[in-house]
Amino acid sequence: MPSNASTDGVGMGFIQIVVMVCQVAQPDQCEEQHLQFAWQGSLERCVMSAQPYIAQWIGDHPQWTVKRYHCAYPETRRKI
């Protein structure tokens, strides 16, 4: 996973990939999952780099499918 996150583009912090997932067997049953990790870079770059981390989560949780996702800083509501 990425390391050395930044909440403002400078310094260290954490970032989240917020993933809306739905059950494969019941597609109307959905929930948000928050994948938090250390990251150095912008929210935009997180969005572009998120797919391998989402794929890993889905590999560990095959009963779920991804509907959509975005990146966000844990302490704010700002997202991309």
**pLDDT band at residue 40, thresholds of 50, 70 and 90?**
confident
Q: Rounded to two decimals, what is the model's pTM?
A: 0.74
In the sheet where 14-23 sits, what is the strand order?
30-38, 14-23, 64-72
From its phi and psi, is residue 49 left (phi > 0), alpha (psi between -120 and 50) or beta? alpha
pLDDT digit string, tens, across residues 50-76: 999 999 999 999 999 999 999 998 875
Backbone region of residue 36 per phi and psi (left: phi > 0; alpha: psi in -120 to 50; beta: other values): beta
Output the six-digit token pair for 14: 């954490």
